Structure 1
Amino acid sequence: MAKYLLIMRGTDESNAAMMADIEPMMAATRQVIEEMVKAGVLLAAEGLDDPARGVVVDFSGETPVVTDGPYGETKELFGGFFLLDVASQPEAVEWAKRIPAARGARIEVRRVPGEDEVPQDSTVAR
């Protein structure tokens, strides 16, 4: 088994379309979540708050600069995620295809490397 992060990415247009039809979208999403739970593959699922309520820590210069959201000219916004434990990337993709999304939205599927794949001389606390 391997962990995969399904990253929900939306545009201003797809987010507006989703909000216009939010009740059926949420009901369909709850149904997929229930199916993931029954299948034993769901580890976590969360949505994110409005980007206007967030901040960005930018490391472009010598010192980090913090700015308030929204994020300028961003074409896609990270709106939430599902963390799955499945046998393969194709299985993760099949689950991603079942998640309700507005036209124009995307779901990025990325494998989460295991601890044994992190360089052993890393100074990152484990």
Structure 2
Amino acid sequence: MRVMILVKATADSEAGTMPSLELLEAMGRFNVELMQAGILLSGEGLHPSARGRRVVFDGPDRTVTEGPFADTESLVAGFWIWNVANLDEAVAWVRRCPNPMPGPSTIEIRPLFEEADFAAAATA
């Protein structure tokens, strides 16, 4: 199963605080472990929301808002896409991950839809 691992933003990541060399090295080692285990499909860090845009859809209307966005706790600072056997395996790997932020942080695990998930709709 493929999962997206979402590293949630913090005040530090939204301020553009770059990770320490120690954290970069620790994350590099963790990524190598993920690659060697055949789990890592992709992963990237994201710039702060101040450098982004949001497009809100309402029927045919589109409204574009420039960042930064105030709802820091709902923003994403980075992600991985992993191929794991199940959610328990993903949790086990996340528990081994270095803390991605200087202070408290949150990582969310979300399964990706697969083609088979749409089989019922495709046959209807």
1:45-64 maps to which residues of 2 (within 5 A)? Answer: 45-60=43-58, 63-64=61-62
Please state how far the C-alpha of 1:75 moved relative to its aligned partner. 3.0
Counterpart residue number, 1:106: 106
Counterpart residue number, 2:122: 120
5+ long unaligned stretches in structure 1: none
| Count of residues in correspondence between the two structures | 120
Report the TM-score, using the length of structure 1 for normalisation. Answer: 0.82
Please state how far the C-alpha of 1:35 moved relative to its aligned partner. 0.2
Counterpart residue number, 2:41: 43
Task: Give the distance between the partners of 1:29 and 1:18, measured in 2 at CA.
Answer: 18
1:35-68 deviation per Cα after TM superposition (whole angstroms, max 9, x unaligned) = 0000011111111122111001012576110011
Give the 3 Å change call, closer, same or farther, for CA 61–73 of structure 1 in structure 2: farther
Task: Give the distance between the partners of 1:20 and 1:42, measured in 2 at CA.
Answer: 23
1:54-113 deviation per Cα after TM superposition (whole angstroms, max 9, x unaligned) = 001012576110011011344342011111101110100111122222332111001112
Please state how far the C-alpha of 1:10 moved relative to its aligned partner. 2.1
Greater displacement, 69-78 / 31-40: 69-78
Report the TM-score, using the length of structure 2 for normalisation. Answer: 0.83
1:15-30 maps to which residues of 2 (within 5 A)? Answer: 15=13, 19=17, 22-30=20-28
Task: Give the distance between the partners of 2:14 and 2:20, measured in 1 at CA.
Answer: 10
1:2-13 maps to which residues of 2 (within 5 A)? Answer: 2-13=1-12
Letter of the structure 2 residue corresponding to residue 23 of structure 1: L
1:15-44 deviation per Cα after TM superposition (whole angstroms, max 9, x unaligned) = 379937521111110000000000011111
Letter of the structure 1 residue corresponding to residue 48 of structure 2: D
Match of 1:81 among 66, 79, 82: 79
- Aligned-pair identity in percent equals 31
